[in-house]
Amino acid sequence: MEAADRKRLLQEMVFARRFEERTAEAYHHRDIGGFLHLYPGQEACAFGVLEQARMGHDYVITGYRDHVHALKCGADPKEVMAELYGKETGSSRGRGGSMHIFDVKNHFMGGYALVGEPYPLAAGLAKGIKMKGTDQIAICFLGDGANNQGTFHETLNMAQLWELPVLFVCENNLYAIGTSLERSTPAHDQYLRAQSYKMEADQVDGQDIDTVMEAAEKAVDFVRSGKGPYFLELMTYRLRGHSMSDSGRGYRSEDEIKQWMERDPIYLFRDRLVEEGVLTADEFEQMDKDAQQHVDDEVIPFAENSPEPDVGDLHKYVLSDDDSCAMGQIAGGGK
């Protein structure tokens, strides 16, 4: 990767971090309601994998920790923030909130609240791609906690049997909400579970973006070449709690958190770029300030000043407006 692209990639990660931290402030100020699951600490996963995919061409789907995946896919940060604020200008017109970011024009097929729900949806996307005969792939991001759902096993079995063009990315942050992997799952290495379905699979460090990109390039090439699905496990860590109602302290030791903070993916990448002579410490400081200013001066004001959804539209976007069956009407005038 060229030096300019490496610097651009770090800039994107820094912006995502500032975006997420600002949403936490807005939540505490009660500008954002409902649920909020933040991504700091896991940035190398989304950015490393999607950097190797074709944004706007391939399809991406994920769970409820979805803001940063949407941003990397090309979603407008202002629309994502407006969605969190529940505004009409949001990416889902303010009806979905944090766990339901959606941006069809950039092929970001959504975040989903139900654990494990995206697995079969990703297989469906991949089946559609295969039927169309294009070179697109579907990429499904989920956490390790989703792998104990029945959808995981059913989907991996079917995806491998049908040789579907889908890349499964397991962001293994070691905890399913507050339950450690050791307490919930006999098989700790998730990629081995995928291999039991005869699926190509690998496990790498999810904090080092260069390692992630190298593994993702191999995985994406494998899937795009028509060899079938691939399962990539990225070992990572969320620096915050599971959601805003969780401090993340009650079930993790301070020593453990400190050890992972020393492997913050943004600072690991920053230090490498400084060492390579691509970036100076002053340039990074300015990059960080610019990201914060972008969020404060453009993203937040857009969300704050956008209109609320019209109460008269309460039933819109729930069911199809032009489908008589969906509207409870029977052909011929009945109800």
Q: What is the pLDDT of residue 264?
A: 98
Predicted pLDDT of residue 324: 66
Where residue 248 falls among pLDDT bands split at 50, 70, 90? Answer: confident
pLDDT band at 58 (very low <50, low <70, confident <90, very high): very high
Query: Region 1-27: what's the mean pLDDT?
Result: 97
**Burial class of 307 by CB neighbour count within 10 A (0 to 12, 13 to 18, 19+):** exposed
Task: Determine the average pLDDT of the residues in 163-188.
Answer: 94
H and E: helices and strands count for the chain: 13, 8
Cα(118)–Cα(274) distance, rounded to whole angstroms? 38
pLDDT 10s digits, 209-245:
999 999 999 999 999 999 999 999 999 999 999 999 8
**Residue 331 — pLDDT band, cuts 50, 70, 90?**
low
- Tell me how crowded residue 205 is: count the other CB atoms within 10 A of its CB: 17
Question: pLDDT value at position 333?
Answer: 45
- β 166-172/138-143 pair status: parallel
Structure tokens at 186: 């006999």
Q: What local confidence, expressed as pLDDT, does residue 160 receive? A: 98
Averaged over 76-97, what is the pLDDT?
A: 96
Nearest to 239 by CA among 16, 22, 40, 21: 40
The pLDDT of residue 293 is above 90: yes
Query: What span, in angstroms and rounded, lies between the C-alpha atoms of 74 and 87?
Result: 20
Q: Percent of the chain, pLDDT > 70?
A: 96
Per-residue confidence at 325, pLDDT binned at 50, 70, 90? low
> For residue 24, with 0-12 CB atoms within 10 Å meaning exposed, 13-18 middle and 19 or more buried, which class applies?
middle
pTM above 0.85, yes or no: yes
Whether the per-residue pLDDT at 255 is higher than 90: the answer is yes
Over residues 124-166, the pLDDT tens digits come to 999 999 999 999 999 999 999 999 999 999 999 999 999 999 9
Strand order in the sheet with 59-62: 108-111, 59-62, 138-143, 166-172, 230-235, 200-205
* Structural domains in the chain, sorted by start: 3-308 (3.40.50.970)
Calculate the CA 18 to chain-centre distance: 16
Helix 118-132 to helix 150-161 angle, to the nearest 10 degrees? 20
Specify the residue for token string 């950097």: 51
320 confidence band (pLDDT: 50, 70, 90): confident
pLDDT above 90: residue 315:
no
User: Regarding predicted confidence, which is higher, 3 or 333?
Assistant: 3
pLDDT average, residue stretch 104-128: 96
For residue 247, the model assigns a pLDDT of 87
Say yes or no to pLDDT of 319 above 80. Answer: no
